[in-house]
Amino acid sequence: MMVPFHVLPDITGPTPVIDVDRVQDNIRGMADKARAAGVAFRPHFKTHQSRDIGRQFREAGVDAITVSSVAMAETFAADGWRDILIAFPFNLRELDRVNRMDPEIRLHLLVDHEHTIEALKTGLTRSVGCYLKIDSGYGRSGVRWDRPERIARMVLALNGPLSFTGFLTHAGHAYQAADSVEILRIVEKTCRRMSSLRACMTARDIRVPVVSIGNTPGCTLARRFPDVDEIRPGNFVFFDLMQWRLGVCEAKRLAFALVCPICGIYPERGELVVMGGAVHFSKEKLDLPDGPCYGMGIGMTTGGFGELQPDIRLVALSQEHGVVRAPESLLETVSIGDRLAFVPVHSCLTADLYPAYRTPDGGTVPRVNSVDLRGAAFRE
């Protein structure tokens, strides 16, 4: 049974906490996986957005990274990263900002439209690499993999300040998979479609330097990535309930939790209320067989995280309230003012709401977040 813990007594409101040993293991595990599979590792930094955690990746041998905004690219460029991919269909409104970035940085942009390519050629005052975004089945963005004529024309249009880095795809539909077998099938199909596209290019004398794939479910479960050169997972640094539920990670790899103070106890309903609502977690939910779940309890000691507690569950969120269903044994032992820790459904979204992480031994690990990065534009 999880008892309210006594670590971090200075925490007074919803606060993100990471288990540094688990973060380290998750980073090493994925770096080793990439090495064993013979692919380059370009991790997505949008999950942690922390220079300190970024340095742990560097220690694991990583020298090229993925981010999802120009602002995030600037943040990591300022910490010495010299090979950065902004993996979002390029926002032409940010062209000037890209022109202002250090020309020494190998910057790669993502494009999936002829108009973007032409506007970049006209407006760029520096050179950039371009990944062409390929839709290999997710249906979110990118040119469909089975349109080789159009893709070839777009590749041939990459000249002047633009060079062709390669093809990039993101099989985000892996998150809708029923289980790990289906995730592996999606990896296999993604690799096959990208390989056939590369063959179509070879037949037209177009060399594809890099084929880049990657999400956490596929990269964690698969051992081989045939005809792929690079993987870009990001969420694995913390994992979360979504990954655990999909069978992607074991509970002992969950490395991120939100500590929330108890503000109400309702034994007659079998529930507690914590300060920890949608503004603190985001509103991502899992539909479990016995009802919705917005977060699950996890133990915590100064040494790190303890056991996941599936019977302590956030079952409803409003703006600031989190309603927790908990067993009688917990309801009888807790007091108002005690704190509980919860693993969120989607760690990327929850972490992005905060300016720093705490560690169970009392430390603080700074990070940036999208709200502050967007706010900076108003302060300029």
> Which residues sit at the interface with ligand PLP, rule CB under 6 A?
44, 66, 87, 170, 214-216, 232-235
Q: Are strands 364-366 and 356-358 parallel, antiparallel or unpaired?
A: antiparallel
Q: What's the closest the beta carbon of residue 313 comes to ligand PLP, in angstroms?
A: 24
Radius of gyration of the chain (CA): 22
Q: What's the closest the beta carbon of residue 328 comes to ligand PLP, in angstroms?
A: 37
Q: What's the closest the beta carbon of residue 335 comes to ligand PLP, in angstroms?
A: 38
DSSP code, position 244: H
Token pair for 39 = 């692919």
Q: What's the closest the beta carbon of residue 233 comes to ligand PLP, in angstroms?
A: 4
Q: Closer to ligand PLP at the Cβ: 15 or 47? A: 47
To which H or E segment does residue 144 belong? strand 143-144
- Length in residues, the chain: 380
Long-range contact list for 99-108, CB < 8 A, 24+ apart?
99/123, 99/124, 99/125, 99/126, 101/70, 101/73, 101/74, 101/77, 101/126, 102/77, 103/127, 105/77, 105/81, 106/64, 106/82, 107/73, 108/83, 108/84, 108/165
Q: What's the closest the beta carbon of residue 209 comes to ligand PLP, in angstroms?
A: 18
Token pair for 234 = 């990001």
Q: Are strands 128-135 and 143-144 parallel, antiparallel or unpaired?
A: parallel
Q: Closer to ligand PLP at the Cβ: 8 or 194? A: 194
**How far is residue 360's CA from residue 152's CA, in Å, rounded to a whole number?**
52
Q: Closer to ligand PLP at the Cβ: 117 or 242? A: 242
**How far is residue 59's CA from residue 54's CA, in Å, rounded to a whole number?**
9
Q: Closer to ligand PLP at the Cβ: 7 or 351? A: 351
Q: Closer to ligand PLP at the Cβ: 16 or 233? A: 233
Q: Closer to ligand PLP at the Cβ: 99 or 370? A: 370
DSSP code, position 236: G
Q: What's the closest the beta carbon of residue 331 comes to ligand PLP, in angstroms?
A: 35
Q: What's the closest the beta carbon of residue 236 comes to ligand PLP, in angstroms?
A: 6
Q: Closer to ligand PLP at the Cβ: 165 or 215? A: 215
CB proximity list for 112: less than 8 A, separation 6 or greater: 89, 132, 133, 135, 141, 142, 143
Residue 255's alpha-carbon distances to 145, 218, 258, 328, 352, in angstroms, are 35, 19, 11, 27, 15
**How far is residue 377's CA from residue 380's CA, in Å, rounded to a whole number?**
5
Q: What's the closest the beta carbon of residue 198 comes to ligand PLP, in angstroms?
A: 19
DSSP for 249-307, please give it: S-GGG--EEEEEEEEEEEGGGTEEEEE--HHHH-S--EEETTEEESEEEEEEETTEEEE
Residue 183's alpha-carbon distances to 119, 173, 336, in angstroms, are 37, 9, 43
Q: Closer to ligand PLP at the Cβ: 231 or 340? A: 231
DSSP code, position 5: P
Q: What's the closest the beta carbon of residue 44 comes to ligand PLP, in angstroms?
A: 4
Q: What's the closest the beta carbon of residue 120 comes to ligand PLP, in angstroms?
A: 18
Q: Closer to ligand PLP at the Cβ: 17 or 87? A: 87
Q: Closer to ligand PLP at the Cβ: 5 or 357? A: 357
Output the residue with the shortest Cβ distance to ligand PLP: 215
Provide the angle, in degrees to the nearest 10, between the axes of the packed helices 70-77 and 51-59. 60
